[in-house]
Structures are given as C-alpha cells and as structure tokens.
Structure 1
Amino acid sequence: MSPTQSWRIPPVVNSPEKIQLARLSHVFASHSNLDEFDKFAQDFGFIEEAREGDTIYYRGYGRDLCSYVATQSADGEKHFDGAAFLAKTEQDFVKAAGMKGSSPVTDNTGPCGGRRVTLSSPSGTKIHILWGVNERPAPEKAVSATEVHKGGYNTALEKQRKGEFQRFKLGPAMVHKLGHYGYITSKFEDDVLFYTQNFNFVPSDVLWEDTDGAELDSLTFMHLDQGKEYSDHHTLFLSRAPPGFPEPHRVHHCSFEVEDFDTQLLGHQHLLNKGYTPIWGVGRHIFGSQLFDYWKDPSGFAIEHYADGDMVNVDNPTGRERSEGPASMYIWGPVRPEGGVA
C-alpha cells in the first residue's frame, strides 16, 4: 500500500455467524534455555502446574490451568507460537475446525486437556481454539507473595483503614491471568480483517497516522465482544509494521494481570533485585488505562505485568484517535525507550 493511501478499519459488528470466543487462556513460546526461563517465571509470579518432557505449563491463580506454556527450543532460537482461546460453545469450536486452512482437531496437551484446532492469519500469526478444557475453581481472593497485612485504602477524603497498618514484603507479583498479547504485522489490513470477520474481536480503540493528508489506521486494540457482559479492553492488539520491516510478523509482548499497584511495584523491585532487565515502567497507559511494567525475559521476549485495566461492552463505541507516537502510549511513566518495547 502506498504511504499516501488511506485505509480505515471497517465498522465491526459481532454476529452469531462468527466464531464466538469466551476468553483468552494462554500463550505458547519456545525458549533458547528453558531452565533460565523457569527461574525467571518463578520470580515473575507464575506457578508451575505441570512439567512434561521439555515443556512446562505455568498458571496464575485464576481459572485457567495454564497461562503460559514454555518449551525448550529445538533449534536454540526463541519462537512465539501464538495464543489459545476458549470457544464459547462446542458449535463455535466446530466452526473453527471447519475454517479453510485449519489444522486437524487434536487432543490438547498438558493439564488443560480438551481439544484444540489451530488457524493462521494472513501474516502467519497463530490462534489456537480450545474446547472441553479442565478449569480451576474461580478464586475467592488474590494470591500474594508480598502481602503481610493489607487493609482498605485511605484517600484524602475517605479513610477506609483506621487503626490498622499496611505491611508488605518484596516478592514476585503473583499472576492472576493472561490479559492480552499482540503483534507487529506486515499485513495489517489482512490480519485485522481475519480476526474481526471470523471471530468476535471488536476494536476498542484505533490509532491512525496522517500520511500526506490521508488517514492510515496503524494500531488497534481489540476486545472479545460478549454483548452486555463486560470484558477486558483488549485481549489482542495489532500494530502496522513500518516500511522495510524484515518479517511477516513479530510478537510485541504478552501481558499478565496482577492484583494492584502495590503488588506491581513490589514485584518490580523483586525482579530488579534478581538482576532481570526492565524495559519500560512502571507507568499508566492511555488506551486500556493499565498500570504497566515491561520486562525482558532471558530469551529476549517482552513480557508485562499490568493492573487496573479498563472493561468494555457492546455499549462502548470504538474510539479513533490520531497517533502521537510514543506520547499516545502513556500518560505518565519513564520515557519510552528508543524502538519501543518489542
């Protein structure tokens, strides 16, 4: 596409004909040194659920029996192998299995169980659809490695905590769930249409660039439309690759929810003390509003803790704003590093 051409994401409306996805479950990644990643994973706040050969299944304290599937790379290079979503009904799973280019239906490995089918977008990004998986009971309270005693929050005008004291210790920011992930893609238009025309992905916000007077959509944050039920502001985002980008697509980062700001900052300090490499944070995003904290894992992947994200439903219209570059990504926090996060 010529840089002077305009392209806007068409209006997206969910419909029963599309494959309905209930929620995001986990990501798959191959690591150059699985033992090194395992040390990082524990300090990041994952819990090991199972280990089978050269694969480790990590979970948070939410319903999913795995939030991150890590495998020893066969070629010594890191690889991001897509994300798994739960189909809303068995009929939706059958629809996914019947799509052109879908893989055969296979048994889903690991503690989640169930069945799995895999599809690829035009740029090659993978999406795995699951059905019949095992789940944990929904948690009644957050799991913490940092809390000694926590009461209510005292604001300037409302004092919820009286006569009791906040007490914390350093430790991992325990993961609740996988919240979102995203790609830089050289086939932005085709990938956006693949996800929005086949599944219940709906843009929550779109950023566009002015290219010689033409509007060119360059980034979209997409949620899973659940009608009146609220869902996370985005579970998937796609970013247009710049001219000359050497790959069809590249994962940008994956992001995991933690309980609150204290948990996030205590986990940040814990990772610093362990000698891991921070990328960007702690700060506050604009789109999605999350408190963010990005790290580089031992293989070089970007991985994020977030807290306090926005929720949307069918009554929230898609937002459109002109991109202001890095200034569009945060309202406060450290200066964003050169080259971004990925």
Structure 2
Amino acid sequence: MTDTAIMPETATPIVKAVDIAYIRFSAPDLDAMERFVNDFGLVVVHRDDEVLISRGLEPMPFLHVVHRGPAKFMGWAFEVESEGDLDALADAVPGCSPVHDIGGVEGELGGGKRVHFVEPITGFVLEAVHGQQAEPLAPRRDRITYNHAGVDDRVGVEQDVSGNRYPIKKDPGPPEVYRLGHVVAAVPPGAHQAFMRFLENTFGMLVSDAARMIIPPGAEEHFPPPLVELIKSTGSDVMFQFMRMDRGAAETDHHSMLVLPLMDGTPEAQFSHAAFEVFSMDDVFRGHMHFRERAAEGAPYALAWGVGRHVYGSQIYDYWHDPYGHVHEHMCDGDRVDASYGPNTIDMTDPGQLGDNGGNQWGPTVEESGVHNLNGPQCDPRFADRPDEIRASLLSRDLSELQHVVDAI
C-alpha cells in the first residue's frame, strides 16, 4: 500500500498558506449564537439581522462568522502571504473566484483581498485572504505568572487568575480568546486521503504526525469490524494526519489542520471542531467552569471532551458543543515547530500509542468521554432530539439556501 503520509512530494504546491484566518457558519437563531460566542470569550464586532461577526485579541479583524440561515458549518479561510498567491489560486483552482476586495461589513472591519471556491472533495467553502488589518485588543487581565517547584516567578503577590478570590464564585466568567488555532475536518474514508493531498498540493501544508493502521494477516479479529472494513476500503493505511503550515525556519503550530476519516457512516464531510487559543491552563479551566455553570442554568451547551492534555500537539484542551452541536475548543500550550519537524508516524496497531485515555497525556478516558467531538454535530448528545430539518441541514453540504452568502464572499 502507498503511505500517503510519507510519500515524497510530487508537485510544488500552488501556494504556501501561513495561517488559518477564520471559520464560517450559518444558523437560524443569531441571538443564541451571540450568547454562545460571548460565553466562549470572543468579542462581537458586528451584529445585524443577517450576520454575527466576532474576533479575538490578536490583530485580526475577525475569527468567527455566523450568517442567518440553516444550521450548518460552511467552511474556513486560509491566510496567504501575498496578493500574488491569491492570483495563483484563482488561476489554478477549478471554480475559484477572481481575486477581489473583501466587501461588505467584513471588508469594513479589516480590508484585504480574497478568493473563494467550493472544494469538491468535501463540499466546504474554502477561502484565501491577504492584507487584512486590525489593531490588537488589550486583554482585561495580565498574563498569569506561575511558581514552578523551586523556581518562584511570583513572590509576594496572591494568584488571582480571574478576579475570583473575593467574593468566591462558582462561575468565574468566560476566558479571553487570543486567536484561532486549528480546524479539524472529518471526511468519508478514502475521500479523507484525497483531501489530505489536496491540502498539501494547494496550500503547501506539511505533515506533522500521521496515523497508520496496519492490520497483519490473521489479526482482523482483534480489531472492531467497522474499523477493519474502513481500512480495507480506502486503499491506504493512513488513518489521519495532523498538518501544519510550511513557514520554513519560522515556527508554526504543530497543526493548523487535522483530517480524520468519518467512522460512523455519515456520507458527507463534517466539521469536527475548531480550536481557539487562550493564554493559560487556568483560562482553559475557567472556560470549562463557565460553560458548566451556564449549561446547568439551561444554556444550550454540552460538554464534548475535556479537560485534558493531548499527546499529538500537546495542547491542554476543553471541547463544548455550541447551540447547534458544532464543537468549539479552548486550548493552550500547543507545540511550536518549524519545517524540519517530522513527518512522524503513529502506528495505530500499537496499544501504547493511544491507550485507554484516547491519546491524552492526562484527561478523561475514552470510556468517560466517548471522545464525542471527533465526527461532527451528529455526536452532540442532543442531536437525536432536534427537528428533522435541523438534523438534515447540519449534516448536508448542500449550499443552495446559502448561495447568496457564497456569492457575496
């Protein structure tokens, strides 16, 4: 079998993206989504009857866009280095729009230029942007200084990570989101490998860690039958890939994309989750406590997975389903690497690679959490109780009701 993860590069990529810029949704109730983004720690920069736009503290005009429409994840944007990169995408990618000024409210917020297209393997709307500008937002609190055993960086100052010493409250309030870290897509088996190659060849993404599932002859009985059939159906043993930007000697996140195979038979690609960076482990736990209290009060949020620390990427994480089941992650302390890192191979047949706690250094076990964030909004514990039209729109990549939005991007 061909190993996609370590196959030598066969073509120069069209461009080399430098970051993930923002994610885009639609939802029938923008009021519910506005409450969610505020609880998550984003800053709303525009709201009208048709769109909700939010940002973090980093100097980017927005990170999160929600249009009024059916409950659906639409796609995301890559940031590229130059307008010439946008020209290259417009010339080389079938169905790509011409290069144009970012218009409407989004252009008013940060200017810049972009292209967009509907990616045919997944059906996601992919965008590329350059030249957006915004001033950073000042955090409300200073960064936390920690005392590590034997190294005391905080002396004579009480630790008050959320203004919550007196009065002591159950709900510390939301953390502050700094930036968008990564996006994860779950794609039907076989197609997920084609999408990995698309990301390599179109946006120059590099493989950091790739999971392989090699099942020796006669060992099939030791693995779940659906997993065996999935591997046999793909024509490759690559299960998933953590992928990062190629920024040469400059450091970048261990992964800006993770591509997973859909394991539950859902026929169309799904949004698994997006991760947003906060400043510290205390901020991750702060978000967990805030969402836990809000959910207890009746807010439409559900815990997906957390709190824990990953192995691959090392992030301390906490994942929650939003009002429509899409998973948003608070994370901090991820690995930073340059282009010389990897690619590394994760042998999924080695029990030491994942273990009972699902690849965590510490955190909830698979049995405790079910790792419910991975496949898409259908893993939300409330999904079966949603109206038929909501369930259908969440899982479908059909953009016909949103064509006016796509045309305006």
By percentage of residues, which structure has more helix?
2
Which residue pairs with 2:129 in the alignment?
Answer: 130
Are positions 1:117 and 2:115 aligned together? yes
1:338 pairs with one of 362, 370, 383: 370
SS at match of 1:48: strand
For the 8 Å contact 1:223–1:236, the answer to whether it is kept is yes
Identity %: 25
Which residue pairs with 2:32 in the alignment?
Answer: 36
Which residue pairs with 2:344 in the alignment?
Answer: 319
SS at match of 1:63: coil
**Residues 21-170 of structure 1 correspond to what in structure 2 (within 5 A)?**
21-73=17-69, 77-105=70-98, 106-109=100-103, 110=106, 111-119=109-117, 120-133=119-132, 135-138=133-136, 143-144=139-140, 147=141, 152-167=145-160, 168=162, 169=164, 170=172
Query: Residues 164 and 12 of structure 1: is their aligned pair in 2 closer, same or farther, counting only changes over 3 Å?
Result: farther
Deviations 1:120-145, CA, capped at 9 Å, x for gaps: 15232332011232x22356x6x24x
Are positions 1:194 and 2:198 aligned together? yes
| Structure 2: stretches of 5+ with no match in the other structure | 165-171, 218-230, 296-300, 377-409
Distance 1:71 1:36 in 2: 12
Distance 1:31 1:51 in 2: 13
Which residue pairs with 1:237 in the alignment?
Answer: 258
SS at match of 2:62: coil
Which residue pairs with 1:180 in the alignment?
Answer: 182
How far 1:150 moved relative to its partner?
6.5
How far 1:273 moved relative to its partner?
1.2
Deviations 1:273-302, CA, capped at 9 Å, x for gaps: 111321111100010000000001001101
Distance 1:277 1:255 in 2: 16
Which residue pairs with 2:396 in the alignment?
Answer: none
For the 8 Å contact 2:13–2:201, the answer to whether it is kept is no
Equivalent pairs, count: 328
Query: Residues 262 and 53 of structure 1: is their aligned pair in 2 closer, same or farther, counting only changes over 3 Å?
Result: same
Amino acid at match of 1:108: I
How far 1:99 moved relative to its partner?
2.0
Distance 1:89 1:197 in 2: 18
Deviations 1:55-104, CA, capped at 9 Å, x for gaps: 1110000011100001121xxx4211111112111111100111232332
SS at match of 1:274: helix
For the 8 Å contact 1:96–1:102, the answer to whether it is kept is no
Amino acid at match of 1:338: G
Distance 1:261 1:252 in 2: 23
Amino acid at match of 1:284: R
For the 8 Å contact 2:18–2:79, the answer to whether it is kept is yes
Amino acid at match of 2:74: D
How far 1:190 moved relative to its partner?
1.0
Which residue pairs with 1:224 in the alignment?
Answer: 245
Are positions 1:257 and 2:277 aligned together? yes
How far 1:12 moved relative to its partner?
5.5
Distance 1:103 1:15 in 2: 20
Are positions 1:295 and 2:320 aligned together? yes
Normalising by structure 1, we get a TM-score of 0.88
Distance 2:13 2:196 in 1: 18
Deviations 1:203-233, CA, capped at 9 Å, x for gaps: 1110111234597110101000100000011
Amino acid at match of 1:273: E
Instruction: Kindly name which structure, 1 or 2, has the bigger radius of gyration based on alpha carbons.
Output: 2
Normalising by structure 2, we get a TM-score of 0.75
By percentage of residues, which structure has more strand?
1
| Structure 1: stretches of 5+ with no match in the other structure | none
Distance 1:45 1:14 in 2: 42
For the 8 Å contact 1:282–1:293, the answer to whether it is kept is yes
**Residues 204-219 of structure 1 correspond to what in structure 2 (within 5 A)?**
204-213=208-217, 216-219=237-240
